[in-house]
Amino acid sequence: MHMADALISPTVGAVMWAATAGLVSYSAKKVQKELDDSKVPLMGVLGAFVFSAQMINFSIPATGSSGHIGGAMLLAILLGPYAAFLTIASILTIQALFFADGGLLALGCNIFNLGFFPCFIAYPLIYKKLAGDNVTKRSLIIGANIAAIAGLQLGAFGVVVETFMSGITELPFNTFLLLMQPIHLAIGIVEGLVTTAVVLFILKERPEIIQRVSAGKAFGNISMKPVLVSLLLVALLTAGMLSWFASSDPDGLEWSIAKTTGEEELQQPEGIHSVLADLQKKIAILPDYNFKETEPATSGETKEPASAWSAADSGLSTAGIVGSIFTLIVAGSIGKLLQMFNRRQQKCPN
């Protein structure tokens, strides 16, 4: 559900950038009291895990479409809403800058749609109400599934509204909405199952994590090493190998656009859109999660399609592992900097 710049007007893009910047600032301020030597590395590792998980597009049967998890609900359950929002913002920024996944103008929209709704609406208003203060396995399963679906449905609705308000496409609101919501309902069901599976693993290994996040407390002296090692290994395995077998079908947003317009790709407007597109091409080190093409095909020459194995060996595995490590470093560094800033404020309150 990563929006391209072709959907967004400069005005809507700027407004959503401002809204997202405000949420980042608010989250950074609120999260400082919760950060400690246990939560900071978990931010980095979970960021890497969600980055790698988003590389796995799964097919939606009988539609010709595919989807991937958003991951913010999982982050919110295991980190709390503020650390989760900062982590998903890190993931989406890295994807846009270094992998050209989602537009630069639309980055504010993407962070808002995939971060705000799960972290600040679905998590406190749905998950916490259903899971309750004394989390049980049953309440966790129900809460995580329903909240994950709701968060993705709200995010899909946000895409439709932002596209409509931009007014630079010919996507009719009602048709676009009636395609976006059902396909993302299917994706949300899978996200709910994945979220539940990971959270149940944490509940079994370190139930204190979920209990303290639910109470808004720091982790304290919880032993995190087994959880961190397990999640990091799964992240690297997913990014480096399982990503080879991701579906090549268009994702839910691309599918909805194609069904509405009859075109697989929207025309990129001139002006700021072209400027940002050129900038993104220069910044992206592994565009579309593969190596940059150095020798374009000559006229009339047809490239042989690469096998899944060769594609993974040459580009996809590299992109997945590099992206996971980038996210680990960036999300972890944000947590560490905020932790250091909070400690300095406590020492020098004036």
Residue 30: inside a domain: yes
Q: Are 184 and 1 in contact (CB under 8 A)?
A: yes
Which residue range forms the structural domain that includes residue 91? 5-251+284-291+307-343
Q: How many domains does the chain have?
A: 1
Residue 130: inside a domain: yes
Over the stretch 156-195, which tens digit does the pLDDT of each residue have? 999 999 999 999 998 999 999 999 999 999 999 999 999 9
Q: Are 77 and 199 in contact (CB under 8 A)?
A: yes
Residue 61's pLDDT band, with cuts at 50, 70 and 90, is: very high
Residue 349's pLDDT band, with cuts at 50, 70 and 90, is: low
Over the stretch 256-268, which tens digit does the pLDDT of each residue have? 999 998 887 788 8
Q: What tokens appear for 35 in the block?
A: 């950060």
In the prediction, which pLDDT does 313 show? 52
Q: Which of 92, 90, 87, 70 is nearest to 151 (CA)?
A: 70
State the Cα–Cα distance between residues 212 and 133, nearest whole angstrom. 10
For 6, counting Cβ atoms within 10 Å of its Cβ (0-12 exposed, 13-18 middle, 19+ buried), the class is buried
pLDDT at residue 285 is higher than 60: yes
In the prediction, which pLDDT does 312 show? 46
271: alpha, beta or left? (left if phi > 0; alpha if psi -120 to 50):
left
Tracing tokens 């194609």 back to the chain, one arrives at 258
Residue 23's pLDDT band, with cuts at 50, 70 and 90, is: very high
Residue 318: inside a domain: yes
Beta carbons within 10 angstroms of residue 118's beta carbon: 33
Over the stretch 63-100, which tens digit does the pLDDT of each residue have? 999 999 999 999 999 999 999 999 999 999 999 999 99
Residue 299's pLDDT band, with cuts at 50, 70 and 90, is: very low
Q: What's the mean pLDDT in 223-242? A: 93
Residue 261: inside a domain: no
Q: What's the mean pLDDT in 116-136? A: 93
State the Cα–Cα distance between residues 280 and 283, nearest whole angstrom. 5
Q: What's the mean pLDDT in 123-136? A: 91
Q: What's the mean pLDDT in 122-142? A: 92
The CATH number of whichever domain residue 123 belongs to comes to: 1.10.1760.20
Residue 348: inside a domain: no
Q: What's the mean pLDDT in 128-138? A: 89
Residue 69: inside a domain: yes
pLDDT at residue 309 is higher than 60: no
State the Cα–Cα distance between residues 127 and 140, nearest whole angstrom. 8
